Each structure stands twice: as C-alpha cells, then as structure tokens.
Amino acid sequence: MLPNTGKLAGCTVFITGASRGIGKAIALKAAKDGANIVIAAKTTQAHPKLSGTIYTAAEEIEAAGGKALPCIVDVRDEQQINNAVEKAVESFGGIDILVNNASAISLTNTLETPTKRVDLMMNVNVRGTYLTSKACIPYLKKSKVAHILNLSPPLNLNPLWFKQHCAYTIAKYGMSMCVLGMAEEFKGEIAVNALWPKTAIHTAAMTMLGGLDIESHCRKVDIMADAAYSIFKKPKSFTGNFIIDENILKEEGIKNFDVYAVKQGYSLMPDLFLDEYLDQATKKPESHGAVPELKGKKPQPPAEPRSGAVEETFRIVKDSLSDDIVKATQAVFQFELSGEDGGTWFLDLKSKSGNVGYGEPSDQADVVMSMSTDDFVKMFSGKLKPTMAFMSGKLKIKGNMALAMKLEKLMNQLQAKL
C-alpha cells in the first residue's frame, strides 16, 4: 500500500460519483491527508443493491480526517454541476483537484443496446465529464496543485474493443479524448491525465454486473486510490498521460501487489482496452476487406451431433449438475457452435435439477453464446477464460450479461474433470 504524505492537506478535491466504489476510495485516501472532499453524486437514499449515499460517504470522509461537502449532482444536469462547484468554492475557497469518476456501462452490441442506454452512457461519460471539467477549470487555474483526473482508458483503436460494445467504448473514449484535448489546451496551468486499472476492480456495481463470484478475480478499490494519490503528488508538468494503476505504483516502489487482491491465490480478470493482456492468437490483424464470417442465412446445425469433445464436455457438465448449482444460477444458456461437432446446444440451469442437450432449449434462452467448438472446449476446460474470449471476439454473447458471467463459476468447478 502507498503511504500518505500529508501533501493534500487543505486541498479541495471535487469527485463525481464519490458515494461508493473507486470514487469513494480516492476520497478516503485524500481525506487521510486532511483534504476537503466535495462528494458530487446523485445517491441520497440507500439503493437496495448498491450501498452508500453522499451522506454516508461524508461520514466516512470526516472519520478519516477530511472535511466533506455532500452535493446532490447528476452529471447530466449542468445546473446541478454548477451549483455544486459554487458551493465548493464558497465552503473551501477554491478547487484544487477534479476527479471525473462518474460513469455508466452497458457491455452490449449495437443491436442489443437500447437508445436510452446509449444516451445515458454518452451523457454521463462524455458530456458529464466535459461539463464538470468546464465548470471547475476557472478555479483549477488559480490552484498551485491543479489536476484533472479522468477514470478512462488509453485510446486504443484496436477494433476488438469496439466490436462487442461499440457504444460503451465510444463513451469511455470520449472521456479519454477530453484528457488528450484539455491537457494540450491547459498545458502549464492544469495537469490533465487518465487513470485505468490493469485488472477488474471489485465494487458493488461489478458485483451487480458479474455476480458475487466475480470478486475473487478482482483487486480492491485501494489500488486505484493509491494510484490516483500518486498522480496528485506530481507537478503540473505531468500531463496528457494515460496511466495504468499497477505501472505507476511500480514507479513508487510498490512490489507486492498481492495486498490489493480481494482474495489471494485467484487469477485476476484483466480489464478492457489493454491489448497486452489478450491471448496471443487474438493479436493477428483482421482483414477489414474480407467477407464477413456470417453472411446470408445462419448455418443450420447438423441433424445429429457427432461424438467428440463437445458432446463429452456436455456429458461431464450434465453429470456435475446439482440442485445447488441450478438454484444459484437460474438461467438457460444456448450455444451456437461452429466447426466439428457444432450446432445448437443448450444448458438449462433454471428448471428442476438442470439439463443439457442438443438443439434449442424448451424455454427461451436467457443467454445465447456463439463461438467455435474448439474455443468452447477450451473455455470449459479452463484453457480460455470467458472474459478473454468475449473481449477478443472469440465469444459473442446475446442476452443477459450478468447471467453470462455467472456461468464462469460452473466452468471453474468443472476444470478438474475436463
């Protein structure tokens, strides 16, 4: 863990989405120095699945040694942003650091993303970041510290990061483009940087997206708080950078990253937008002039499945099913497999003691997964992580993403048998 130095004592840090998760962690880290924290978030009453409000966060910040100013802010509302900035200046005399943390996510493809969800991501991620920065900049210019930090990824134009969740990528890259433009525009006056995690970070939102089992493969929010704190210590000349949390902490001399793991000994899920963590096979450039893989009619499954690795995999899955697994999952999965032994298969983890079979399920599938038979066998045997398969384009998913991620638990249980 990175120790506090007291450098932020008396500084005013304005953080969007600071009522929980990474935003609150950054707030608490700064509060230990005696910083003033403006909690600009919209949660005023406890959410049934997401703990924390602007008021509970304020209590924690005060207990950690900082001063807190909870402000009701939906970053889609320009007036609420401006009101919070005015209150911050009235209460603390200025603003020294802005953290654009508020964000909306939907890892869905173009046809599966409702317009209202597209609007939400664009308005929160891009427009909210832009307007909050615009409102804070006049006061940041007067500060000796003067930092803007956006929680957004490096601008990686590999098509793999667009094909599965185009709208979300555009929205997050919009935040990163604010870094690129504002760092140059305010060079010498305000440092503007982006911070992104190397691995998945465990937050309440992550649990909602991937289920309780996802936390074992995540790091704690502390690593992002430490990385942000390291950035805040740097001079204004440190600007225009797209920083990965682990990399900057290595520069700080941190060597033991196991302390950041939610559960030590588990493999960590890599985060999106970082090519270096993709399977080597996915790094081959795509031919953008090639004929699309699926053109015209959808390939029909053979009349009967041939014996082979796919059938054997489903046999083992069937033998491993239990009432507990069905109760914990409550989903029907359909697999569209291309290649030898392919076709349509299903895994019913919703009815009775569960079932598997060839063909379409009797009830409508909650999740449809499309991939090659080779990758399917690798995925269930642990040689290919579902997250990596999805991010690299080897696995296409339609339907409920949260239920899709639940399937990973079953795969982990089966790896010893496959």
In this structure, are 210 and 115 located in the same domain? Answer: yes
Residue 234, number of CB atoms within 10 A of its CB: 15
pLDDT tens profile 110-159: 998 999 999 999 999 999 999 999 999 999 999 999 999 999 999 999 99
| Count of alpha carbons within 13 angstroms of residue 354, beta-carbon side | 24
Average pLDDT, rounded, for the chain: 87
What pLDDT sits at residue 415? Answer: 60
Percent of residues, the chain, with pLDDT higher than 90: 58
In this structure, are 89 and 182 located in the same domain? Answer: yes
- Domain encompassing residue 368: 309-416
pLDDT tens profile 297-316: 344 444 344 448 888 888 88
What pLDDT sits at residue 211? Answer: 55
Question: Is 266 a known active-site residue?
Answer: no
Percent of residues, the chain, with pLDDT higher than 70: 87
In this structure, are 91 and 224 located in the same domain? Answer: yes
In this structure, are 333 and 392 located in the same domain? Answer: yes
In this structure, are 316 and 271 located in the same domain? Answer: no
Strands 12-16 vs 97-100: parallel, antiparallel or unpaired: parallel
CATH code at position 67:
3.40.50.720
Active-site annotation holder among 55, 130, 139, 168: 168
In this structure, are 343 and 242 located in the same domain? Answer: no
**What is the rounded average pLDDT of the residues 383-388?**
75
pLDDT at 321 over 90: no
pLDDT at 336 over 60: yes
Domain final position from 230, 259, 278: 278
In this structure, are 101 and 179 located in the same domain? Answer: yes
Strand partners, 69: 38
In this structure, are 262 and 167 located in the same domain? Answer: yes
CATH code at position 392:
3.30.1050.10
What pLDDT sits at residue 284? Answer: 38
Range scoring the smallest mean pLDDT among 84-98, 103-117, 267-281 = 267-281
Domains contained in the chain, number: 2
Enter the tokens of residue 336: 């569209």
